[in-house]
Structures are given as C-alpha cells and as structure tokens.
Structure 1
Amino acid sequence: MTRHLPWRLDDAPDAPFPPAETALRDPDGLLALGGDLSPVRLLNAYAGGIFPWFSEGQPLLWWSPDPRMVFRTDGVHLSSRFRRSLRQSTWALRADTCFEQVIDACAASPRPGQDGTWITRDMRDAYVDLHRLGFAHSVEVFDGDALVGGIYGVAIGRMFFGESMFSAASGGSKVALAGLAHRLASWGWPLIDAQVENDHLLRMGAEHWPRQRFLALVREQVQQPAAAGDWVDLFGTLSAAEIADPDRS
C-alpha cells in the first residue's frame, strides 16, 4: 500500500491506525494525523509501534520511523569513569513516586536544536492519565530528597516505550535509564523503545533496528502477561552502586 499523505484518523478513540509499515519516507515515519490522546488511542498506538509527536500549534501527528532506535535492556553502556563515580555515589532510584514531577522536569529541560517542548499541556495530561491507569511509569533518581534525574514512558505487556528523560545534576538521566534497563532485564523484559536517533543515546548503547524487526518484537511482547499498576513496590529502591556493578546486585 502506497500513500502520499498521512492517514487522517477517525474521531472514535478506538478507531484503528493504518499499518505502521505504511508510514511515509519523507518525513521519515509520519503515519497519521488527527484523533486524540485518549488512553485507548494511546495504548493502541504504542501496541502497534506508533507514538505521538507534535509541537504546539501543529495537528496531532503519529509516527513510526524506520529504522527505530532501541536499547536492549542488558545493553545500556556507562563509561568506566562514570561507573567509578557511581560506586561512591549516595544516589538512590525509585519508581512512580513523583511521576508528574518527572514529566514536568522533562518538559522544562532544554533540548539541542529544539525551540520549546513537544510535551504540551495536553500531552502531559494524557500521560498523567495513563500513569493513573497503571500504564505510564517514571524512574526517579534522588540525592537525599532532591530529584536529580528521571525517565518516563509507557509499559504494555513486557514492552517499555521510553518517552523522555532529564538531568538536574550531571549524569542523572544516564542513571535513570541504566536503572530502568537493569530492573527490566531482571524482569525478563528485553527492549526499551527509544524512538528516534540521538547521538547521546548512541553513545550509551542504543541500536538501530529495522522497523519490521522492531514491530515483530513489539507485537510479541505486548501480549506477554504483566499486570498494569504502579511500580513503587515492584521496583523497590536501587542504589547507584548497583547500577555501577549490576552483576553484584
């Protein structure tokens, strides 16, 4: 099937998306426009390898790029120097204790080459709704009571779709990502979706996967048993030292 314009979604929240394989080549991955950010629509999108990404004043745009940027949960790379610093760190990681604070910090973080944020008020509210339903999660890095880094995203089955991360202290986002990957690997979750290419993510071990390979794994993993709900107790507390030497934890 070949299309020259993005698909316009029906108004019904449960209306199907077009196949992700039909996304445009230019711009890479643009699949559809319109619709809304209701929980049903968002969960259907992620389960199909699709995510929303648009700026204030644009229509709601849906994407499935090819290739896809991903992390294997056992493949996040931290430099030897950074690991040495973490062995002496007092930072601690928890999950879902301050989701709204994490997404607000992500929205406020400046991004190279970007003017403003794609985390609009409507986008923020939509992910807060998903969090309350047990499908969106945050991993937070604390120095005492201070939040120094974090990451949030969407979990369906045993698949995690990363959305954004931030640092309020040097290395905060790296630790959040590494801690998330460490816990997911211990639960048997194989992959974190990182969406689109980013030099920082490549340095941390992100890989390019052809869209077909990515979609095949997503369709398998979203069907795996994993109950929705908060991760406060499931994640527990993870020390920075455990991130530095994951084989010892």
Structure 2
Amino acid sequence: MSTAAPSAASRIAVVTGASSGIGAATARQLAAAGYRVVLTARRKDRVERLAEEIQAAGHAATAYPLDVTDRAAVDEFATAFRTIGVLVNNAGGALGADPVATGDPADWRTMYETNVLGTLNLTQALLPALEASGDGTVVVVSSTAAHSTYEGGAGYVAAKHGAHVLAETLRLEIVGRPVRVVEVAPGMVRTEEFALTRFGGDADKAAKVYAGVAEPLTADDVADTITWAVTRPSHVNIDLLVVRPRAQASNTKVHREL
C-alpha cells in the first residue's frame, strides 16, 4: 500500500445528484471518510440542507445547485472549483417502463441527456482539475441495466449502456495519467424516489418493483461501495463493481416471497 500522503486537492469530492438517494448517502460517507464534499443537484433547498447536516456533523461540505445537462452552467461550476480530486457522476434516473414500440421519445431523450451527457459534461469540465490534483478519481454510477437488458427498460438500458461505454472508453484514453476511472453498477436499490419518478408518481406501481423482496439494496449500501472504491490506494483501480441484493440473480430473476 502506498504511504504517500494524499494531496489537499485529492481530498475534495464532487457528488452529482446529491439531493437524495445514492448521491446524498455517498456525500455523507465521503465526508465521514475525510473528504470535503461539494454537493450538486438541481434542488437548491435539498443540497443546502444536506450541506448543513454534514457541517453539523463536523465535516466540510459545500452546496452548489447545478443541472448537469446545462453545459454552460457546468463550465461555470468548473471555474468555481478548480481544485478537485474525486468526481462521482451519480445524477441520472429512469422514466417509464414502456416497450420499444410505444416508448416516449421525450423520455428516452431526457434519460440520455441526464445519464450520458450529464456525465460527459461534468467529466470533460473537471478532468483537467482531476489530473492536476495528481491523484484523481472519476466514478460513474451506472446500473446493472448498463450490462444486460430487460423488457420494458430499453430507454433506461440504452442510456446506462452509454454511461458504461463512456467510462470504459475514458479509462483506455487516459491510461498513464494520474486519474482512475471507476464504474459502480447497482442492481435493485430501494430509495425514496427512483421508482416513484420512473412511474410518474404512481406509488402503487413503484411499490410493485420491490414487492416480496425482503432486502433490496439501500442507498447506504451503494454509497459504501462507492466510498470503498474511492478510498483504495492510488495504484488500485476498481474498473467495474456490480452490486446487487442477494435476492437478485439478474435483472429478470428476483426471488420474491409473496
């Protein structure tokens, strides 16, 4: 294990989609691990409350409202935070569960813009600072949907496949430079908003996703995985880590006790 002390720059972590779920949990855990966290999301009130919570716990946190699909805003953000060591590309999400034949192109476009172009925007804007830190890490939070398909999920699957390929290609392109590229691909995670957003606020449909599954993953489970990958010694790159609940063998095979 490397004994070199981490630079101050490498101890600053940007987390996108930090207003709830996996992003908020990751911000809390990275802060507890000694990182100064920069919290970004569109919902200003949420990230500000989370920053106050983290500060009250004795850790460093800054809130910065940001829409990752707005490239001009992302570029402005990059000028405000020129010293960065970790970027966690977590902003994303799913919309709808329609088959290809009837899927809404607007939903597909929104998913692509958030999951893929949002990740591209932040990564491009912050890559110079990550490299300048001498010990940078880019994390892409994809999904098991990035690695296998399922009926009714084509739009989300296509977007997450795009995020996976972005991470895989970036790793090839910057090898030899002091930046790691980590992909964490969660399976079934129960958060307060993911399924509810996917089904347009229909609580019954959202609940059916987890019906009979005693212990889906939690946001904290995924955040723990991300934090573990980020805190490995500098020479260790966790290329891809797939994490599912024990009850889920694949995207289409889940043990349910009904």
TM-score, reference length from structure 2: 0.29
Determine which structure has greater relative contact order: mean sequence separation of CA pairs < 8 Å that are 6+ residues apart, divided by chain length.
Answer: 1
Instruction: Pick the structure with more helix per residue.
Output: 2
Bigger strand fraction: 1
